[in-house]
Structure 1
Amino acid sequence: MIRAAARYAPGAVLVAVPLLLAVLGPLLAGPAGPRAVSFSAGPDHWLGTDFTGRDAWRQVLLGGRSVVLVALGATLLAYLVALPVGLAAALTRRTWLEEALMRPLDVLIAVPSLLLVLLVAAAFAPGPAGLTALVGLAAVPEAARVVHAAAAEVASRPAVEALRMQGESWWRTAVGYVARSLRRTLAADAGIRLTGALYLVATAAFLGVGVQPDTSDWAVMVDRNRTGLFLQPWAVVVPALLVAALSTGVNLLFDTALQRGGHRKGARR
């Protein structure tokens, strides 16, 4: 048991630090003090100050919630749309319906996600909720293709044909059997999807999409403070490391869980 927990420890630590800062940071930030200029860490400013003289540590405490919540919400939204679309395309016996569901997604995949977000944002200027929707929908085509490819293999099994012959409902066949068989595939893809969402959210915020130029946001901190990187590096390095730690930690956790699941499956055989 202890050995199993130790395998999860590196990923758990990497995920826990940015998540705790994102959730508890605004509660610990306290009131904003007077603005000052400090190029080095000290008792008054643990990480120095940012480009406007605000305490960089306080900005780190305030800046995680937007990045983390938008990325998590976008990943969840992507699967809420991609899962039923991919399952419907894989389980239908009508070729025209499968083509109608999947071919438009192929067209969207040809458009870079960031370009798609920027084009829509230029027209509608989304806030955090709009940015969540944009990033989530931009991830739908690739996620739906993964679901469709994996579900098509499961749908060809004799068990699915037997369920159809017994008159089982589409819901029980698709969700009760096919979707449950995709758990390992979806778990592996979820880490990639969340990493992509973090990258897209951070890049969009870096470019000023969905956030105000002076908002407390890790990606905005990297953007606005990068010109003073050699004078005051902590206001850039710390938020960048937090985003990287969350992305790396999530993938480590999923990889560890998948490896353990594979070992258990092999042991049963």
Structure 2
Amino acid sequence: MIALPIVLAAVGPVFASANSDKDIAFSSGPGHLFGTDFVGRDVWNEVLLGGRSVVLIAVAATLCTYLVAVPIGVAVGMSRSRFLGEAVMRPLDIVLAVPSMLLLLLLASTAPNVMWALVVIVTVINLPDVIRIARASALAISARPAVEAMRLQGESHVRIGLGYVVRAMVRTLAADLGTRFTGAVYLVASASFLGVGVSPQTSDWAAMVDRNRTGLFLQPWAVVLPALLIVALSVGVNLAFDQLLRRKRREVRA
């Protein structure tokens, strides 16, 4: 479930045809394995070209989210300062109160219509959740006797944070990572569906669903194929992380 969307996104453009000739719209004629889309372009060729934007933006946004959120959450959690915690967390609570789709549209309306802007927007939307998770985990871990012993030995906060706290948080972050990546795919696909971050004519799986939904019953592959790839990627990542965590639990019990 993961391999097929990833492989298509990574190497699909290499095997895609450079020929932009158009045929009859929503056709199932010869020479088109999955028919044509709303303007007569080959659906399979569009699928080969359209995965990179969805997958790469979701991966980049997820990585950026953790690179920014985890240090902030760990620093706030280890500080044990109520003032610092309130100063950081209360503004994030305001962001959390705004629905993600509304926030996506608000941010997109002021951002340039380019892919890197979409990466920043998805990162900003996901930051509050990950910071809260990292802070809560760091608060619990930093109260352990091992951390107190490291402080008494004169270890620096950076060494304690990176050497012990972050390492102890790995399972918690791994459990969240699958859900967070799925959320990023959802936001990226929703943005593409709404025409945010990509041109309406760009080859993109989510944009394909939007453009071809009017002809769903004439040429279903133009909608079903890209939609199935997005669903397979999201579900597959969550199943993979669930299996990984179960295996880790068995190893710990053993």
- Look up the match of 2:155: 168
Aligned to 2:250: 263
Q: 1:34 & 1:208 partners in 2: Cα distance?
A: 24
Q: 1:123 is paired with a residue of what secondary structure? A: coil
Q: Distance in 1 between matches of 2:204 and 2:26?
A: 20
Q: 1 CA distance for matches of 2:28 and 2:140?
A: 56
Task: Check the 8 A contact 1:39/1:231 in 2, yes or no.
Answer: yes
CA RMSD of aligned residues (A): 1.1
Distance 1:92 1:250 in 2: 34
Identical pairs, percent: 56
Partners of 2:82 and 2:25 lie apart in 1 by: 65
Aligned counterpart for 1:252 among listed residues 239, 243, 247: 239
2:37 pairs with 1:50: yes
Cross-structure match for 2:108: 121
Q: Verify the 8 A CA contact 1:188 1:258 in the aligned structure 2.
A: yes
Distance in structure 1 (CA, Å) of the matches to 2:212 and 2:25: 13
Counterpart-to-counterpart distance in 1, 2:165 and 2:30: 57
Match of 1:63 among 40, 50, 69: 50
CA distance, structure 2, for counterparts of residue 166 and residue 43 of structure 1: 75
Task: Return the offset for 1:233.
Answer: 0.4
Matched, 1:134 2:134: no
How many residues matched?
254
Conserved 8 A contact 2:72-2:131: yes
- Alignment-mate amino acid for residue 90 of structure 2: R
- What is the alpha-carbon distance in structure 1 between the residues aligned to residue 173 and residue 147 of structure 2? 19
Q: Return the offset for 1:213.
A: 0.7
Q: Could you tell me which residue of structure 2 aligns to residue 186 of structure 1?
A: 173
Counterpart check, 1:107 vs 2:105: no
- The answer for unaligned runs of 5 or more in structure 2 is none
Q: C-alpha distance in 2, partners of 1:158/1:101?
A: 26
What SS does the aligned partner of 1:124 have? Answer: coil
| Structure 1 residue 203 corresponds to structure 2 residue 190 | yes
C-alpha offsets along residues 164-201 of structure 1, whole Å, 9 cap, x if unaligned? 11111111111110110011111110000000000000
Tell me which amino acid in the other structure corresponds to 2:140: E
| 1:231 paired residue among 214, 218, 221 | 218
Deviates more, 1:26-35 or 1:195-204: 26-35
TM-score by length of 2: 0.97
Does the CA-based 8 Å contact 2:38-2:212 persist in structure 1?
yes
Distance in 1 separating the partners of 2:233 and 2:178: 11
Q: Residue 210 of structure 2 aligns to which amino acid in structure 1? A: D
1:85 aligns to 2:72 (yes or no): yes
Counterpart-to-counterpart distance in 1, 2:178 and 2:231:
13
Query: 1:126 Cα shift?
Result: 3.3
